[in-house]
Amino acid sequence: MTIIAAADGSALGNPGPNGWAWYIDDDNWAAGGSPHGTNNQGELQAVLELLRATAGTDEKLLIRCDSRYVIDSVTKWMPGWKRKGWRKSDGGPVLNRDLLEGIDEAMRGRDVEFSWVKGHAGDRMNEAADERANSAAKAYQQKQEPRRGPGFTRATDAGAAVAASAPLAAAAASGRSATTTAAPALAARDEPTDAPLWAETSSLFDDFDTPTAEPIELRITLTGDEHARLRDRADAQGISLEAALRRLI
């Protein structure tokens, strides 16, 4: 079996409020974005989020993109960039290195193929991804919560664990500390909300009412969609993922 998905990005102003989305069908899609970014960043983020969401499956993944930049970056240029220490042929640094490194890591050991499709030409899956990415960008422009989507509903426990490992890698690279694994996951939700970060998970901390001088290590498993929602909210508030998690507490 092959999972066929479209991935797309959008930026209002380029740079400006941006959005990303991947789409398999109406039961399997996700979207997000940030208050400020480029179209290329949205396109790359869509691919990265798709890879994370489907990390637990052994099926081949066919990613349909209307961005030559994304396809050529991943399939043609990235090996050379890596050999040169993430430098371009002119010696300048590769743009969006963090996203490309994430994609490179997420593709490791997987059967992934890219296919170019013409954008805004009536391709059903591409149009669905584009609409959701653009809607997310507009939500950030209006300082609203975007529709996140149901995520990959066939995701396995292994997929959720791999998706949740992303903040660990980021924390390690920055010298911060972060932990994740088994405990109640945040409830997935696809409708907009103005509730504060802690409102979704207040029940998680009912057992922590005993004062203690010792630090408590809390481990939480997040799905790829939940991790994306948390990261995007942290970006919207201008804080780190670690700070966003602390605010939950």
Spatial distance between the Cα atoms of 50 and 44, rounded to a whole number of angstroms: 10
Name the pairing type of β-strands 60-65 and 28-37. unpaired
36 given a catalytic annotation: no
Contact 184, 13 (CB under 8 A): no
The active-site residue out of 9, 19, 32, 149 is 9
- Residue 113 token pair: 């193929």
Give the H/E segment covering residue 100: helix 97-107
Of 19, 32, 33, 43, which residue is the catalytic one?
43
Is residue 43 annotated as a catalytic residue, yes or no? yes
Among 185, 165, 168, residue whose Cα is nearest residue 177: 168
Query: Which of 19, 33, 66, 227 is labelled catalytic?
Result: 66
Has 207 been annotated as catalytic?
no
Dist CA 48 CA 41 (whole Å): 10
Q: Take residue 110 and report the two structure tokens written for it.
A: 């997987």
Q: CA quadruple 93, 99, 102, 107: dihedral positive or negative?
A: negative
**Is residue 159 flagged as an active site residue?**
no
CA distance 94 to 186: 35
Q: Which of 49, 130, 145, 226 is catalytic?
A: 130
- The one catalytic residue among 120, 175, 214, 217: 120
Residue 227 appears among annotated catalytic residues: no
Distance of alpha carbon 196 from alpha carbon 219, whole angstroms: 21
Q: Which residue has the tokens 């499709």?
A: 117
Active site residue 66: yes
Query: Is 81 in contact with 96 (CB distance < 8 Å)?
Result: no
Give the angle 14-235-171 at the CA atoms, nearest 5°: 120
Supply the residues annotated as catalytic: 8-9, 43, 66, 120, 130
